[in-house]
Amino acid sequence: MRKFLSLCVVALISSASIIGQNVNKVYIPERIGEVRQEIVIPNIGDYQVLKCDFHIHTVFSDGDVWPTYRVQEAWRDGLDVISITDHIEYLPHKKYVKGDFNTPYELAKPQADKYGLMLVRGTEITRKQGVIGHFNALFIEDANAIPDDDPFVAVQNARKQNAFVLFNHPGWAVDTCLVTEFQQRLFDADMIDGIEVVNHMEYYPRVVSWCIDKKLPMFANSDEHGIISEDYTTCFRPMTLVLVEENSQNGVKEALLVGRSIAYTDNKFMSTEDLLLDLFEACVDIKMIQHSDKKNVYSCTNKSSFPFVISVNGGGKKVIPPFSTIHFSASNKKNLEITILNMWCYEDEHPVLKID
């Protein structure tokens, strides 16, 4: 009955508004407006976790969209920080799209300010993959001052602007992840600050081990050229989670330079064991709710937007869905050991949480 009355009220309001309308122009239906998907990650101690994508393209290189679209898209996807990193050396739309290497940033910046999204100025130094490779220069001041015929000098030009240099997609378009002579030269000169372990639809497990061995932060970026929503339908887009003390460009850069990042794609997380355990413990509360002579029963509450997959004391897989609680029991004869199976802290190693 209440439903019927509500329907009548809606019908009356609708007909009243139609009466007041111009009969030659009817608006259908009302536009909801833009909606942002909120991705919930609790703070990790004093750190706020920012959701970032440091590798995206527009029509100013070989992408399909205008720079302002990238801002709106990232805001709708729940991101906090992006960098538009159009190629310097590959400009297939040049005949139709005028501008210089700073133009994508300059077009996107007012939109980013309006939406409250942090926009990091960046560009992609783009040389032959498998020989030289691609490198994103992030936090730069002037992309026009970076190009040079010599790729080493181009990276040096970025460094002169205090750029953070990212080694992009080590496994893309090659059979296996190998460090080339040129890339080794950059590592030896301390000119690589981070590496993509995830690029677009690719994940490079071996590169997780490189980052751990070289003590470099891990990145997961979309390298999107088309439309994000057409590529990721069952999970969030790839994101680099950055643990910041201060929500500012300096705060993000400072966090990256000391390695406080976690790469995310397809409900998988990659980073150091410490950071992964910090993230897990910030997201999941584990409480003993029943104690007996032989076993204890625990409740496990996930306060985040991500699912976690665990194994308790080497047992079978258990999924803790987002914003949900599960129960599990474990022998009380030994300490609790929780292996987090959708996190990787080396090529084939998962972090293990030990609870006394």
List CB contacts of 184: < 8 A, sequence separation 6 or more.
none
Q: How far is the CB of 63 from Zn ion (least distance, A)?
A: 9
Name the minimum Å distance from CB 354 to Zn ion.
40
134 binds Zn ion (CB under 5 A): yes
> In Å, how far from its chain's centre is CA 114?
21
Closer residue to Zn ion, CB minimum distance, 61 or 72: 61
Q: Which of residues 30-69 bind Zn ion (CB under 5 A)?
A: none
Please select the residue that binds Zn ion; options are 77, 196, 223, 224, rule is CB under 5 A.
Answer: 223
Q: How many residues bind Zn ion (CB under 5 A)?
A: 4
> Rounded to an integer, what distance in angstroms lies between the CA atom of residue 242 and that of residue 209?
19
Q: CA–CA separation, 139 vs 184, rounded Å?
A: 23
User: Least distance in Å: CB of 232 to Zn ion?
Assistant: 17
In the bound state, the residue with its beta carbon closest to Zn ion is 134
Output the smallest distance, CB 278 to Zn ion, in A: 30
Specify whether the CB–CB gap between 325 and 302 falls below 8 A: yes
Which of residues 49 and 146 has its CB atom nearest to Zn ion in the complex?
146
Strand order from edge to edge, sheet including 308-312: 317-320, 308-312, 336-340, 352-355
H or E stretch covering 82: strand 81-84
Instruction: Give the H or E element holding residue 264.
Output: strand 261-265
Single out the residue of 319, 287, 280 nearest to residue 303, CA to CA. 280
Taking CB under 5 A as the rule, which mask of x and - marks residues 94-133 in contact with Zn ion?
A: ------------------------------x---------
Q: How far is the CB of 171 from Zn ion (least distance, A)?
A: 12
| Angstrom distance (rounded) from CA 155 to CA 166 | 10
Q: Minimum Å distance from CB 161 to Zn ion?
A: 19
Q: Which stretch binds Zn ion (CB under 5 A): 1-9, 88-96, 222-230, 279-287?
A: 222-230
Q: Closest separation between CB of residue 93 and Zn ion, Å? A: 15
Ramachandran category for residue 179: left, alpha or beta (phi over 0 → left; psi -120 to 50 → alpha): beta
| Least distance from Zn ion to the Cβ atom of residue 184, Å | 19
124 or 278: whose CB is closer to Zn ion? 124
Does 237 interact with Zn ion (rule: CB under 5 A)? no
The secondary structure of residue 131, as a DSSP letter, is: T
> Quick check: 200 binds Zn ion (CB under 5 A)?
no
Closer to Zn ion by CB, 54 or 210: give it: 54
In the DSSP assignment, the letter for residue 79 is -
Query: Which CB, 102 or 311, lies closer to Zn ion?
Result: 102
Helix extents (H) in the chain:
2-19, 67-76, 103-115, 151-160, 181-188, 205-214, 228-231, 249-257, 273-283
Site for Zn ion, residues 150 to 189, rule: CB under 5 A: 168
Distance separating the N- and C-terminal Cα atoms of the chain: 57
Nearer Cβ to Zn ion, position 152 or 172?
A: 172
Hey, what are 109's tokens?
Answer: 């910046």
Of 64-72, 217-225, 228-236, 291-299, which segment contacts Zn ion by CB under 5 A? 217-225
- Which spans of this chain sit near Zn ion (rule: CB under 5 A)? 124, 134, 168, 223
